[in-house]
Amino acid sequence: MTNPQKTWSRFKYPQSLIRYIIYLIVFVFIVYSLEYLNVPVGRFFTMFGRLGNMITTRYYPPDISHALQKEYLSYVLETIQMAYLGSLFGILFSIPISWFASFNVTPSRRFAYPIGRFIIMACRSVHEMIWTIIFVIVIGFGMFPGVLALTMFSIGFAGKLFSEEIEAIKFGQIEAIRATGANPIQVFLYAVLPQVRVAWAGISIYTWDSAFRAATVLGYFGAGGMGWYLKEAVERLETLKVSAILLTIISLVIVSEVVSAWARNRISKMR
């Protein structure tokens, strides 16, 4: 039988009261937001039926032969190249930027640290699609603005994770290298990199994986690749081709996820 005294003791402490008040505030805020935004919650339960009906009547069966055409496969190759170049340039730029943005090893806490942090935050604050639109306006259509957009995305993504790994390293090796009279670059090369190289390799693979997912849709905004082909099919109302392109994108993302997970697993065993 439950002891009433013990049950009451769980509610009499201030921390328990605060916790339940927070739960209540969150619940009230959710209800208020749904009412304020006029969200039709009831439609959620009928949405799947309408979605299934639309897919079966408009997008099925997908035109698989269209996805095997040489022209479309060239767009797929462009997407892979765009993701590779964007993530590669972003990772390379992220190495010195993350060094500047790491408070424990930055060459200058007064100048280099705020500059490095600002660059990372600026790149992370703007979505890659917005970067694409900006570069398309400035440069024009093609893969180049897509590569630049993915470079900015990769700097914000990898730069933050790189700097966090640096700030978590053991400081003893750094002090030992500094005691020999090494300059900041030598300290970074011989005391910092050996401690973060494995983690950085895993982050680099994850960055490419994320950049590839973004690259599949950047073409919709003028950056070329599969997204541009998808935009043309949507504007022409060629729904069977659209479903084939979407299946191709999903398949490539799955393959990318499997390969990157395998590579990250191999790298984690090197620790």
Does residue 105 fall inside a structural domain?
A: yes
Q: Same structural domain for residues 27 and 82?
A: no
Does residue 3 fall inside a structural domain?
A: no
pLDDT at 118 > cutoff 90: yes
Q: Same structural domain for residues 34 and 71?
A: no
Does residue 167 fall inside a structural domain?
A: yes
pLDDT band at 14 (very low <50, low <70, confident <90, very high): low
The percent helix, strand, coil of the chain (3-state, each to 5) is 80, 0, 20
- The closest alpha carbon to 261, from 199, 196, 205, belongs to 205
Does residue 97 fall inside a structural domain?
A: yes
pLDDT tens digits, one per residue of 130-185 = 888 898 888 888 888 889 999 999 999 999 999 888 888 887 777 787 788 778 78
pLDDT at 73 > cutoff 70: yes
212: Cβ contacts below 8 Å, ≥ 6 apart: 79, 80, 83, 87, 252, 253, 256
239: Cβ contacts below 8 Å, ≥ 6 apart: 58, 59
| Residue 26 domain boundaries | 11-39
Q: Same structural domain for residues 32 and 161?
A: no
pLDDT computed for residue 270 by the predictor? 61
Instruction: Return the DSSP state at 191.
Output: I
The stretch 194-205 carries a mean pLDDT of: 83
Does residue 231 fall inside a structural domain?
A: yes
Interatomic CA distance for residues 95 and 196, integer angstroms: 11
Q: Same structural domain for residues 161 and 212?
A: yes
Residue pair 231/218 in contact by the 8 Å Cβ criterion: no
- Mean pLDDT, the chain, whole residue set: 81
pLDDT at 68 > cutoff 70: yes
pLDDT computed for residue 53 by the predictor? 75
Does residue 50 fall inside a structural domain?
A: no
Q: Same structural domain for residues 97 and 172?
A: yes
Q: Same structural domain for residues 146 and 261?
A: yes
> Which string of DSSP letters, residue by residue, matches 62-75?
--HHHHTSHHHHHH
**Count of the separate structural domains present in the chain:** 2
pTM reported for the whole predicted model: 0.75
Q: Same structural domain for residues 258 and 132?
A: yes
pLDDT computed for residue 154 by the predictor? 92
Two tokens at 170?
A: 């053991």
Does residue 62 fall inside a structural domain?
A: no
Does residue 251 fall inside a structural domain?
A: yes
- The closest alpha carbon to 231, from 141, 97, 167, belongs to 141
The stretch 223-247 carries a mean pLDDT of: 78
